[in-house]
C-alpha cells in the first residue's frame, strides 16, 4: 500500500484551500448581483450557511452607533413555518432575554429563541463597510468541535468581508430610492410606494402562510386647526403626528401618508388582535397630549382608525385596504376617536 507523503498531504490541503477560495469568490460574485438589500443579505446568509455546513442563519444591520441591530435577511432552510415571527426579532432584546449583555454574541450555545429555528449552535461574524455595520449569525444543528468551529468561522468571516461592499452599495441605492418614495412633508412613505409595497407583502404572506394587517388612520379635526391657525399649523401637526406613530411601531412596520390627513400603517406578521392593540395605543398617543401647531400655541387632536387583517378581512391588497378604509369610515360616522375592524361591524366586539 502506498501511503501519502507529507508533500502530497500539503499539496492536497493547498488544493482544497484554493477550491474553497474559488467557491467563496463565486458566491460573493453571485450575491453582488442582488440589488435589493434584503435579497442581498439573504443571499449572504444562505451561501455562508452552505459553505460552512450550517443549517441557516440571520443577518442583522446596525446603521448607527445608537441604533439596534435590526434583522435584514435570513435563511432557515426549507421549513416555511420557521420563518414566521422572524421580523419581530431584535438582536438586543433576544440576547437580553437570554442573559447576554450586548449584541457582541460569540460562537457557542444558541439562545433559546434561535433554537426554535433549529439553531442549537451559533457562529457569529461582524463586519463594517462605510456606515453599514452587520452581524452575521450562522446556526448549526449540533455543537461544533473547536477545529470545525475555527474552519467555519474563517469561511463566514471571509464571505461576509467579500460581500460587505456590495451590501453597503445596495443600502446606498436604497437610500436614494427612499428620497423618491418618501412624503416630503411628514417623512413617512408616500401613496405611490404603498400600492407596490402592499402587493409584495400580501404575496409574501400568502406564500409563507403568515398574516398581515393594515391600520387606516384619519385625523378627526385637522380642518379646524387649518381654519383657526392656518395651513402651516396643520402641516406642523401632521409632521408631529407622523413622528409619534413612527416612534410607536416596529422597524419592520411601515407608515404611509395616504393623502391629506389620512395615514396607513402596514404591519407584517401581525394578526387582527395585535393590529387592534397597536391601533388603540396610537389612538391614545394622539389624544393624550396636545400638538404644538406653532411656537407657544397648542391644539388637541384625535383620530379615527380602521383595522383589517389578511386573509381574515381580505385576500388581496385591494380588498384588504378597502376593508380597513371602510372600518375607519364607519368610525368617522359613528362618533370618531375610536377603532373599527374590517368586515362585519359585529366583529369589533371582543377584539379590543
Residue 156 and residue 272 in one domain: no
* Degrees, nearest 5: CA angle 265-269-275: 45
Q: What is the residue range of 83's domain?
A: 6-179
d(CA 301, CA 237) in angstroms, rounded, equals: 9
Which residues, other chains included, contact 191 with Cβ-Cβ below 8 Å and sequence gap of 6+?
256, 257, 258, 259
Show the cell assigned to 274. Answer: 395585535
d(CA 183, CA 255) in angstroms, rounded, equals: 10
Which residues, other chains included, contact 216 with Cβ-Cβ below 8 Å and sequence gap of 6+?
258, 262, 263, 264, 305, 306, 307, 308, 321, 324, 325, 327, 328
Residue 165 and residue 16 in one domain: yes
Q: What is the CATH number of the domain that holds 261?
A: 3.30.70.270
Residue 31 and residue 151 in one domain: yes
Say what the pLDDT of residue 101 is: 45
Q: Does a structural domain hold residue 1?
A: no
Q: Does a structural domain hold residue 57?
A: yes
Residue 236 and residue 325 in one domain: yes
Say what the pLDDT of residue 352 is: 38
Judged by average pLDDT, the poorest of 11-25, 165-179, 251-265, 308-322 is: 11-25
- How far is CA 166 from its chain centroid? 20
pLDDT digits (tens, 9 = 90+) for 122-148: 888 888 887 788 889 899 988 888 888
Residue 281 and residue 303 in one domain: yes
What is the number of structural domains in the chain?
Answer: 2
Domain termination residue (choose one: 129, 151, 179)? 179
H-state helical runs in 73-115: 91-97, 112-115
Which residues, other chains included, contact 59 with Cβ-Cβ below 8 Å and sequence gap of 6+?
41, 42, 44, 45, 71, 72, 73, 74, 134, 135, 136, 137
The pTM assigned to this predicted structure is 0.58
Is the peptide bond between 311 and the residue preceding it cis, with omega within 30 degrees of 0?
Answer: yes
Q: In percent, how much of the chain has pLDDT > 90?
A: 37
d(CA 80, CA 264) in angstroms, rounded, equals: 28
Say what the pLDDT of residue 350 is: 33
For residue 259, count CB atoms less than 10 angstroms from its CB and return exposed for 0-12, middle for 13-18, buried for 19 or more: exposed
Residue 32 and residue 146 in one domain: yes
Residue 299 and residue 344 in one domain: yes
d(CA 43, CA 74) in angstroms, rounded, equals: 8
SS (H, E, C) 153-213: HHHHHHHHHHHHHHHHHHHHHHHHHHHHHECCCCCCECHHHHHHHHHHHHHHHHHHCCCEE
Domain termination residue (choose one: 154, 179, 204)? 179
Residue 43 and residue 92 in one domain: yes
SS3 at position 73: strand
Show the cell assigned to 286. Answer: 394622539
d(CA 114, CA 104) in angstroms, rounded, equals: 16
Q: Does a structural domain hold residue 184?
A: no
pLDDT digits (tens, 9 = 90+) for 242-282: 999 998 998 789 999 998 899 999 999 899 999 999 999 99
Residue 27 and residue 152 in one domain: yes
In sequence order, the β-bridge partners of residue 139 are 56, 122
Run of H or E residues at 56: strand 56-62
Residue 159 and residue 199 in one domain: no
Q: In percent, how much of the chain has pLDDT > 70?
A: 83
Q: Does a structural domain hold residue 150?
A: yes
Amino acid at each position: 500500500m502506498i501511503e501519502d507523503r507529507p508533500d502530497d498531504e500539503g499539496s492536497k490541503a493547498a488544493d482544497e484551500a484554493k477550491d474553497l477560495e474559488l467557491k467563496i469568490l463565486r458566491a460573493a460574485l453571485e450575491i453582488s448581483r442582488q440589488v435589493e438589500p434584503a435579497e442581498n443579505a439573504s443571499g449572504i446568509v444562505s451561501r455562508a450557511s452552505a459553505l460552512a455546513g450550517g443549517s441557516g442563519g440571520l443577518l442583522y444591520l446596525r446603521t448607527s452607533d445608537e441604533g439596534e441591530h435590526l434583522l435584514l435577511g435570513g435563511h432557515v432552510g426549507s421549513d416555511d413555518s420557521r420563518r414566521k415571527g422572524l421580523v419581530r426579532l431584535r438582536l438586543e432584546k433576544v440576547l437580553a432575554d437570554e442573559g447576554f449583555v450586548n449584541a457582541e454574541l460569540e460562537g457557542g450555545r444558541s439562545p433559546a429563541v434561535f433554537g426554535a429555528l433549529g439553531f442549537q449552535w451559533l457562529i457569529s461574524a461582524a463586519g463594517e463597510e462605510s456606515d453599514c455595520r452587520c452581524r452575521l449569525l450562522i446556526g448549526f444543528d449540533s455543537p461544533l468541535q473547536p477545529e470545525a468551529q475555527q474552519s467555519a468561522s474563517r469561511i463566514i468571516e471571509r464571505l461576509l468581508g467579500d460581500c460587505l461592499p456590495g451590501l453597503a452599495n445596495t443600502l446606498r441605492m436604497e437610500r436614494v430610492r427612499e428620497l423618491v418614495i418618501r412624503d416630503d412633508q411628514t417623512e413617512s412613505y408616500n401613496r405611490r410606494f404603498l400600492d407596490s409595497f402592499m402587493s409584495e407583502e400580501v404575496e409574501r404572506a400568502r406564500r409563507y402562510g403568515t398574516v398581515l394587517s393594515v391600520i387606516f388612520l384619519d385625523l378627526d379635526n385637522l380642518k379646524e386647526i387649518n381654519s383657526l391657525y392656518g395651513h402651516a399649523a396643520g402641516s406642523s401637526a401632521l409632521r408631529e403626528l407622523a413622528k409619534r406613530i413612527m416612534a410607536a411601531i416596529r422597524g419592520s412596520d411601515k407608515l404611509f401618508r395616504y393623502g391629506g390627513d389620512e395615514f396607513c400603517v402596514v404591519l407584517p406578521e401581525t394578526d387582527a388582535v395585535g393590529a387592534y392593540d397597536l391601533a388603540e395605543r396610537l389612538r391614545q398617543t394622539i389624544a393624550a397630549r396636545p400638538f404644538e401647531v406653532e411656537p407657544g400655541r397648542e391644539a388637541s387632536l384625535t383620530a379615527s382608525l380602521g383595522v383589517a387583517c389578511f386573509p381574515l378581512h381580505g385576500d388581496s391588497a385591494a380588498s384588504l385596504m378597502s376593508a380597513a378604509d371602510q372600518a375607519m369610515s364607519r368610525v368617522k360616522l359613528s362618533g370618531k376617536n375610536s377603532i373599527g375592524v374590517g368586515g362585519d361591524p359585529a366583529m369589533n366586539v371582543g377584539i379590543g
